[in-house]
Amino acid sequence: MKLRPFIFVLCLLFAGRASAAEILDLNTVKCKEWLDSSKENIGYTIAWLDGYYMDEDASPIINFDKMKENAGKLAGYCAANPAVGLGTAAEELFGE
């Protein structure tokens, strides 16, 4: 069920800077822009992607080691391909 990770990420987002509204459109943001964004935005993005690409029937367990590994993969891919869209990069790395 993808609802549980989504709720978790929402809680993280609202626990942070509620007054500073930012939007990250994975369809338009490029890898370089994402790498140049704040550490906070990168962390939120990785958490969201982890939930999004989680198997629908997966247990509601957060594996921080796996999340860190995936962050490294995405950052490495984006560093090598700065003009590629972040959504495209994530789909290539984590999609089925």
Contact status, residue 28 vs residue 85, Cβ threshold 8 Å: yes
CA-derived radius of gyration, the chain: 13
Cα–Cα distance measured from residue 69 to residue 52, given in angstroms and rounded to the nearest whole number: 16
> Domain coordinates of the chain in residue numbers?
3-94
Q: Which CATH class is domain 3-94?
A: mainly alpha
Which residues, other chains included, contact 9 with Cβ-Cβ below 8 Å and sequence gap of 6+?
44, 47, 48, 51
With a threshold of 0.85, does the pTM exceed it? no
CA angle 66–3–22, rounded 5-degree value:
80
Confidence (pLDDT) at 55: 85
pLDDT one digit per residue (tens) for the chain, 96 residues: 555 655 555 555 555 544 455 788 888 999 999 999 999 999 999 999 999 998 888 888 889 999 999 999 999 999 999 999 999 999 999 997
The two most distant CA atoms of the chain are separated, in Å, by: 36
Paired tokens of 8:
């978790």
Main-chain phi, psi angles of 30, to 5 degrees: -90, 160
